[in-house]
Chain A
Amino acid sequence: MNHSTSQTPSAAFTEKQVEADGFTIRYLEAGAGDPLVYIHGASGVRLSKAHDILAESYRVIAIEVPGFGDSPANEKSATMADLAATLCTAIANLGIDEYNLMGMSFGGKVVLSMGLHDNANIKALVLLAPAAIRLTDAPPPAGGPAAMKAALHAHPDQHPDLPGYAEGVLEKQHALVGRAMGPPRDQDFETALGELDIPVLACFGTEDKVMPPEVAHIYAELLPNCHLMMIYDAAHAVDADRPEAVAAVAADFFERHEKFLVRQQSDVINP
């Protein structure tokens, strides 16, 4: 069965709210265990089967960035650093001290910025098709449901149409993304990444045309502790295209950090 991206999370996820910096921030939570905070891409909160799998062993908290979805337009967060600081405060206000952090596309830049803001509490970062460094100034994929599906998935025919947006939501989100995202190569940001000592796993879909894997090496060159992972036969929506693979490698990295290089699973055929 193909599990699609969906704005409606699986039944395990329940909707909650937390206050931070004057924002009322919506989040979806499922599972128990070590906290794993997830920050979505420029399209808004879309959970996949990967999140369901991760919720089997982690307390997954998918935060909606203020200014996305049904929340009021966010005109207060002037920069990505402001946004990152607000999200770190929101997590602290949930009573969480140490946590794992995963970000998708736009959320990839958000979580790196959170790492720069709060590197004492973030144990490890997983980036999914991160948009923090871009080879061109092309805007995020846009268009009708069919065009969006084609832009995001390696096998669009295996996924249902993406849900549309209520009036004004897209414009509101784009305004915030445009302001927070910065230029394709943000020199100050890239210089700061050289000091980020959190272990980072950067995942790229081999079929991703939005954030192609050709950008991956720059992350490895900039970040002092970064591992690259190519997700075969996945496009930009890496977690939706290969949910089991993404969940497995992310969980292994969260659990073992750099030691994830060494295989732990047994290959015994018959004892």
Chain B
Amino acid sequence: MKISLFCNTRYMGPSVRGTWPVPATQYEPEIAQSSMQLSLDQAKLADAAGFDWISVAEHHFAPFSVTPNPMVMAGAMSQVVKRAKIALLGPNLPILNPLRIAEELAMLDTMTGGRIIAGLMRGTPNEYVTYNVNPNESRDRFAEAVKLIRRAWTEKQPFGWEGRYYQYRSISIWPRPVQQPHPPIYMSGSSEQSGKFAADNQLGLGFAVTTLPNATKSANYYRDMAVKAGWEPKPDDIIYRLGMHIADTDEEAIGDIVEAGADKPRAGITLMNMAVLSAVQDSKYYGKDTEKDREATIATHGLEEKIELGELLVGSPDTVVSQIKKIHDQLGPGILDVICAVQLGERTEKSLRLMGSKVMPQIKDW
């Protein structure tokens, strides 16, 4: 089993809360600068501690994450992360130019000597406001863009593309991916529709902002669909994202995590603008997800419940190993993408080191 550190690069200063897009009235450039540096430092530390992947993501117009272009952050990380793979979990494909994504990922794969993981995401519903894209067309755009990117990575002769959403007269990208035929591709999705798409297209599947029971149900469906499509997903085809903090003892770890606010209900970025959420719900963005599935996904839990539901790894190294064991046995993911409590200074660094030295050796052969 592999461990990935999710560096979402949160803006570490005060900001307006409870709305999206977030006004920049309290923005301080120095804080953003140090927040990015902190993210790079933690990525470097995790790389040295033995983490298998470092991951970055795309979010817009909010302090929750100041990497609107994860490619830029991955480029910076490629200079400090020397061993681990760098996972792009987005880009948010339907709101971007897919050909540009193919080119940028190929650049990064070249820069890192083939250490890029290509997570192609649809983004949270609010992201469709960002570049004024109709969320109703999100799934169809995504499906076309995935095919286009794969073709751009593998076709050596210049070719045109006459799509529904994308139209190019001649494509021949340079540089090209180091990994052949192309970097591993993942998508996210808890819905059956996404699971079937991933299975039909032999893509890996990532789960975030969910619970262990929900992810397990979705993963089982994905595996069934893959078998029907003629292949069998390996553990590494499944990524599961959750919170993480490790200390010498359970008591210390829980004290730290409460200080960091992880016992508070999760405030989804989409829920910060109910008008946007409501408009997106009117569209086909959520596909065939039922109302009930969505409620389960956005439900908020307290600390004990979060641990029980597999939303959080917290405790001493041995406690965390047992928490990971439960996730391994139920869901069977090959990669855990952990979000650490980034604001705890030396305690954050220690948590990363304990993961590398005391936890990872116990789980690496699972």
| Chain A interface (Cβ < 8 Å from any Cβ of B) | 220, 256-259, 261-271
Q: How far is the CB of B138 from chain A (nearest CB, A)?
A: 11
The count of residues in chain B whose C-beta lies closer than 8 Å to any C-beta of chain A is: 23
Instruction: Add 20 more A-B contacts to A266-B134, A267-B137, A271-B164 (CB < 8 A).
Output: A259-B278, A261-B129, A262-B128, A262-B129, A262-B134, A262-B276, A262-B279, A262-B283, A263-B128, A263-B129, A263-B132, A263-B133, A263-B134, A264-B136, A265-B134, A268-B164, A268-B165, A269-B164, A269-B166, A269-B167
Top-6 shortest CB links A-B: A258-B275, A262-B279, A259-B279, A263-B134, A261-B129, A263-B132
Partner of A269, one of B129, B165, B283: B165
Instruction: Decide: B163 and A269 in contact? CB cutoff 8 A.
Output: yes
Q: How far is the CB of B54 from chain A (nearest CB, A)?
A: 33
| Distance A25 CA – B128 CA, assembled complex (angstroms) | 45
Chain B residues whose CB sits within 8 angstroms of the CB of A263 once the complex forms: 128-129, 132-135
Q: Scan B162-188; emit 1 where CB is below 8 A from any A CB, else 0.
A: 111111000000000000000000000
| Distance A267 CA – B282 CA, assembled complex (angstroms) | 17
Q: How far is the CB of B23 from chain A (nearest CB, A)?
A: 8
Q: How far is the CB of B148 from chain A (nearest CB, A)?
A: 13
Is there a chain A Cβ closer than 8 Å to B66's Cβ? no
Is there a chain A Cβ closer than 8 Å to B105's Cβ? no
Chain B residue at minimum C-beta to C-beta distance from A265: B134
Instruction: Decide: A270 and B162 in contact? CB cutoff 8 A.
Output: yes
Once A261-B129, A271-B164 are accepted as A-B contacts, the answer to whether A266 and B279 lie under 8 Å apart by CB is no
| Distance A258 CA – B128 CA, assembled complex (angstroms) | 14
Q: Scan B131-171; emit 1 where CB is below 8 A from any A CB, else 0.
A: 01111110000000000000000000000001111110000
Chain B residue at minimum C-beta to C-beta distance from A257: B275
Partner of A261, one of B136, B276, B282: B276
Is there a chain A Cβ closer than 8 Å to B280's Cβ? yes
| Distance A264 CA – B128 CA, assembled complex (angstroms) | 11
Q: How far is the CB of A31 from chain B (nearest CB, A)?
A: 26
Instruction: Decide: B279 and A256 in contact? CB cutoff 8 A.
Output: yes
Best-buried of A261, A262, A268, A271 by chain B (most CB within 10 Å): A262
Q: How far is the CB of A77 from chain B (nearest CB, A)?
A: 36
Chain A residues whose CB sits within 8 angstroms of the CB of B135 once the complex forms: 262-263
Instruction: Decide: A270 and B164 in contact? CB cutoff 8 A.
Output: yes
| Distance A264 CA – B282 CA, assembled complex (angstroms) | 10
Instruction: Decide: B275 and A268 in contact? CB cutoff 8 A.
Output: no
Instruction: Decide: A261 and B164 in contact? CB cutoff 8 A.
Output: no
| Distance A259 CA – B281 CA, assembled complex (angstroms) | 11
Chain A residues whose CB sits within 8 angstroms of the CB of B137 once the complex forms: 266-268
Instruction: Decide: B283 and A267 in contact? CB cutoff 8 A.
Output: no
Instruction: Decide: B165 and A267 in contact? CB cutoff 8 A.
Output: yes
Chain A residue at minimum C-beta to C-beta distance from B163: A269
| Chain B interface (Cβ < 8 Å from any Cβ of A) | 23, 128-129, 132-137, 162-167, 273, 275-276, 278-280, 282-283
| Distance A268 CA – B280 CA, assembled complex (angstroms) | 18
Chain B residues whose CB sits within 8 angstroms of the CB of A271 once the complex forms: 164
Instruction: Decide: A262 and B162 in contact? CB cutoff 8 A.
Output: no
Q: Is the interface of A mostly helix, strand, loop or mixed?
A: loop
| Distance A266 CA – B166 CA, assembled complex (angstroms) | 13
| Distance A168 CA – B166 CA, assembled complex (angstroms) | 60
Instruction: Decide: B164 and A259 in contact? CB cutoff 8 A.
Output: no
Instruction: Decide: B133 and A267 in contact? CB cutoff 8 A.
Output: yes
| Distance A220 CA – B162 CA, assembled complex (angstroms) | 43
Chain B residues whose CB sits within 8 angstroms of the CB of A266 once the complex forms: 134, 136-137
Instruction: Decide: B134 and A267 in contact? CB cutoff 8 A.
Output: yes
Q: How far is the CB of A228 from chain B (nearest CB, A)?
A: 11
| Distance A209 CA – B132 CA, assembled complex (angstroms) | 28
| Distance A220 CA – B279 CA, assembled complex (angstroms) | 22
Chain A residues whose CB sits within 8 angstroms of the CB of B166 once the complex forms: 269
Chain B residue at minimum C-beta to C-beta distance from A269: B167
| Distance A267 CA – B133 CA, assembled complex (angstroms) | 8
Chain A residues whose CB sits within 8 angstroms of the CB of B163 once the complex forms: 269
Chain B residues whose CB sits within 8 angstroms of the CB of A267 once the complex forms: 133-134, 137, 165
Chain B residues whose CB sits within 8 angstroms of the CB of A220 once the complex forms: 23
Chain A residue at minimum C-beta to C-beta distance from B275: A258
| Distance A189 CA – B133 CA, assembled complex (angstroms) | 38
Chain B residues whose CB sits within 8 angstroms of the CB of A259 once the complex forms: 275-276, 278-279, 282
Q: How far is the CB of A110 from chain B (nearest CB, A)?
A: 27
Q: How far is the CB of A227 from chain B (nearest CB, A)?
A: 10
| Distance A212 CA – B166 CA, assembled complex (angstroms) | 38
Chain A residue at minimum C-beta to C-beta distance from B25: A221
Best-buried of A256, A261, A269 by chain B (most CB within 10 Å): A261
| Distance A173 CA – B185 CA, assembled complex (angstroms) | 67
Chain A residues whose CB sits within 8 angstroms of the CB of B129 once the complex forms: 261-263
Instruction: Decide: A261 and B134 in contact? CB cutoff 8 A.
Output: no
Q: How far is the CB of B87 from chain A (nearest CB, A)?
A: 29
| Distance A262 CA – B273 CA, assembled complex (angstroms) | 11
| Distance A268 CA – B278 CA, assembled complex (angstroms) | 23
Chain A residues whose CB sits within 8 angstroms of the CB of B279 once the complex forms: 256, 259, 261-262
Q: How far is the CB of A138 from chain B (nearest CB, A)?
A: 27
13 interchain pairs, CB-CB under 8 A: A256-B279, A259-B278, A261-B276, A261-B279, A262-B129, A262-B279, A263-B128, A263-B129, A264-B134, A266-B134, A267-B137, A268-B165, A269-B167
Chain A residues whose CB sits within 8 angstroms of the CB of B133 once the complex forms: 263, 267
Q: How far is the CB of B169 from chain A (nearest CB, A)?
A: 13
| Distance A259 CA – B164 CA, assembled complex (angstroms) | 26
| Distance A262 CA – B275 CA, assembled complex (angstroms) | 9
Chain B residues whose CB sits within 8 angstroms of the CB of A268 once the complex forms: 137, 164-165
| Distance A270 CA – B133 CA, assembled complex (angstroms) | 17
Best-buried of A259, A263, A266 by chain B (most CB within 10 Å): A263
Best-buried of B166, B279, B283 by chain A (most CB within 10 Å): B279
Chain A residue at minimum C-beta to C-beta distance from B162: A270
Chain A residues whose CB sits within 8 angstroms of the CB of B282 once the complex forms: 259
